[in-house]
Amino acid sequence: MAWLAWKHGATSGRSAVTIGQNPPAPVGNGRIRAGGGSGDARVAHTGVSGVPQGAADTWRVRIRGAGGTPVGAGVLISGGRVLTCAHVARTALGLADDESPAGAELALDFAGSATREPVAASVAAQGWAPPVDGRGDVAVLALHGSAPDDCAPASLHACGPAGDRIVRVFGQPQAAGPGRWVRVQLVGSGGLSPDWLQFEGVTQLGDRVQQGFSGAGAVDAAGDVLGIVVAEDLRAAQRTGWLIPVEAAARYCPLISDAVTSLEHTPSWPPQAERELTSALVRIPSMYDPLRRERILRDTGDDVVLLAARSPVLLEDVRAVVAVCLQYADGIDRLAAALRWYEHGSLPIREFERVLARLRGGGVPQEPAS
């Protein structure tokens, strides 16, 4: 299992994240580095899966590594697919960070089934979003056979704001062969990735989310899966963890969008939107600086970077990015927010905002008071 380390700078107040293959060892100076660095604030990838107990839990998947040992969890969804974390699939397949999972098979079984028979699976086409710079870590597996007859797909639902909701999670800690349920409370967005939601243990008693929970589903009182747990804080006094919301997972792997309810509908743009937005964007200085353009697109989201048909020609590159952003309910808004950070109210960004408002039918926006 891959491990995340959270290292706090001694003077800068900023945080850095590194990813390694082994759990870090604390040295006691308040900092940590993955793969044997120093510190005692440890964060490990985990995962979670759960719903109100009963027949609705049959979507729970256990992903197995070498020797059949569970290395994480997953969620059975419609179409014979399983949603999990990329680092779980990578561990099960024994892959290095830079290796592709194409063509490799892993074994999994269903914790909610009476048969517990293993089923082969592999990473689906366009179902691989490995962790890069704190983003991603989503995988979609395609079953090579059918799920057991007594198992049903989960209901995936966009999570939305945390709202202090209580969810239940189910994982496979090594000390508990059958698996364990844990109840946690959603706290808010943030953590080691802007896509994550933080959760806290409801009480200091009972089990906690730990290694073996990675990739499992976090389930609300209605029985809907809202996300998959990705990491936990390993400090003994903490019961803190993080999940990837369903809507973020769908951005990284859009092929699961058909299984998700309550995703925002893509807004209806006029036919000239792509052309006019592209024309306005190529006039913004931050867009015709290649290095800054890459940073802006990374801030917009790795889903845009991965899906856009990139080109060394500025006009073609920006047009491809706009085309992808227009497919998301919040795509253009994410791009605009990233641009504002770099442009600081420049004339070209204000012209872009005018074009955007007009295309949305809102007229010309008022200039903020100076």
Residue range 156-261, CATH number? 2.40.10.10
Q: Determine the pLDDT at residue 176.
A: 52
Q: Determine the pLDDT at residue 206.
A: 63
Q: Please choose, from the candidates 59, 46, 24, the residue with its C-alpha nearest in 3D space to the C-alpha of residue 208.
A: 46
Q: Determine the pLDDT at residue 349.
A: 95
Instruction: Please state the domain extents for the chain.
Output: 60-143, 156-261, 272-361
Percentages of the chain per state (helix, strand, coil), in multiples of 5: 25, 25, 45
CA distance 305 to 138: 15
Q: Determine the pLDDT at residue 266.
A: 59
Q: Determine the pLDDT at residue 196.
A: 87
- 60-143 and 156-261: identical CATH topology: yes
Pairing of strands 260-261, 156-157: parallel
Spans in the chain with pLDDT lower than 50: 1-55, 363-370
At 130-166, the pLDDT tens digits run 988 778 899 999 999 999 999 999 999 988 878 788 8
Q: Determine the pLDDT at residue 13.
A: 33
Q: Determine the pLDDT at residue 205.
A: 64
CA distance 280 to 218: 42
Q: Please state which CATH class domain 60-143 belongs to.
A: mainly beta
At 241-271, the pLDDT tens digits run 889 999 899 989 999 999 998 766 556 789 8
8 Å CB contact between 51 and 219: yes
The tokens for 270 are 């006029």
Q: Where are the beta strands (DSSP E) in the chain?
A: 3-8, 15-20, 42-45, 60-64, 70-77, 81-84, 106-110, 119-129, 138-143, 156-157, 166-171, 180-189, 197-201, 217-219, 225-233, 240-245, 260-261
pTM, two decimal places: 0.62
